[in-house]
Chains A and B, each alone.
Chain A
Amino acid sequence: AIRITQSPSSLSAFIGDRVTITCRASQDISSSLAWYQQKPGKAPKLLIYAASTLQRGVPSRFSGSGSGTDFTLTISSLQSEDLATYSCQQYFNSWTFGQGTKVEI
């Protein structure tokens, strides 16, 4: 099974800060990686797929990069509504999720 290691597990940042979250896959998954945002008590929401493609309606301050085994989610200017847990998912072979990164403002 493909394992995903996500870091950090939590972070605290100020409004306007640039925030970066990383995921590393245990094997080459090409660009088969998605990022989700989950607000407290809510279901996950798709932000990015194919490692770097922004889902329709997602603010442009969110971006994704990477391929192969190393991937990054960046929030260019953190907003108060970005308080959430962010998880990556590989879909190259079945589905595996990272453990999540809790972003606090």
Chain B
Amino acid sequence: EVQLVDSGGGLIQPGGSLRLSCTASGFIFSNYAMSWVRQGPGKGLEWVSAISETGTDTYYADSVKGRFTISRDNSKNTLYLQMNSLRAEDTAAYYCVKESLGHNYGDNWGQGTLVIVSS
């Protein structure tokens, strides 16, 4: 059974940094591209970032480009999102998402981790 466990969220002051983690199990992690998607309070889903199977290629939404960095450690079956220069508008539940093989939709989601940016 595929499992994705998100962690690392919390309350952080504006301008601060936080690193989210997503630990995967139940599938061959290194074979799949992965993404982060967030959902602000009362808002819709917003794609944040994606990374290829090997980590060679990374992609970012304009809203986080230059502030967030996605990475992965295939030896640890773990996906990361380093978030710097956090803003109030980054407040959201962050989900890691496993992309389907050969396609591009998300077929499994983590439970989410809540990030609150507030002074």
Contacts of A36 in B (CB 8 A): 45
Taking the closest CB of chain B, its distance from the CB of A49, in whole angstroms, is: 5
Contacts of A34 in B (CB 8 A): 105-106
* B45 and A43 contacting across the interface, CB-CB below 8 Å: no
Docked Cα-Cα span, A43 to B110, in Å, equals 7
* B107 and A55 contacting across the interface, CB-CB below 8 Å: yes
* B109 and A98 contacting across the interface, CB-CB below 8 Å: no
Given A43-B95, A43-B111, A49-B100: A97 and B45 interface contact (C-beta under 8 Å): yes
Contacts of A42 in B (CB 8 A): 111
Docked Cα-Cα span, A87 to B109, in Å, equals 14
Grouping DSSP codes into helix (H, G, I), strand (E, B) and loop, the B interface class, with mixed when no group exceeds half, is: strand
Given A97-B46, A100-B44: A43 and B104 interface contact (C-beta under 8 Å): no
* A46 and B45 contacting across the interface, CB-CB below 8 Å: no
Within 8 A of B (CB), among A65-105: 87, 89, 91, 94-100
Given A44-B95, A49-B100: A97 and B105 interface contact (C-beta under 8 Å): no
Grouping DSSP codes into helix (H, G, I), strand (E, B) and loop, the A interface class, with mixed when no group exceeds half, is: loop
Taking the closest CB of chain A, its distance from the CB of B52, in whole angstroms, is: 14
* B107 and A46 contacting across the interface, CB-CB below 8 Å: yes
* B109 and A99 contacting across the interface, CB-CB below 8 Å: no
For chain A, the count of residues having a C-beta within 8 Å of the partner chain is: 21
- What size tier do the contact residues of chain B reach? 20 to 34
Q: Is A45 an interface residue (CB 8 A)?
A: yes
Contacts of A55 in B (CB 8 A): 107
Q: Which residue of A lies closest to B43 (CB)?
A: A99
* A32 and B104 contacting across the interface, CB-CB below 8 Å: yes
A-B contact pairs, 26 of them (CB 8 A): A32-B104, A34-B105, A43-B95, A43-B111, A44-B45, A44-B95, A44-B106, A44-B109, A45-B109, A46-B105, A46-B106, A49-B105, A50-B103, A55-B107, A87-B45, A89-B45, A89-B105, A91-B104, A91-B105, A94-B59, A95-B47, A95-B106, A96-B47, A97-B47, A98-B44, A100-B44
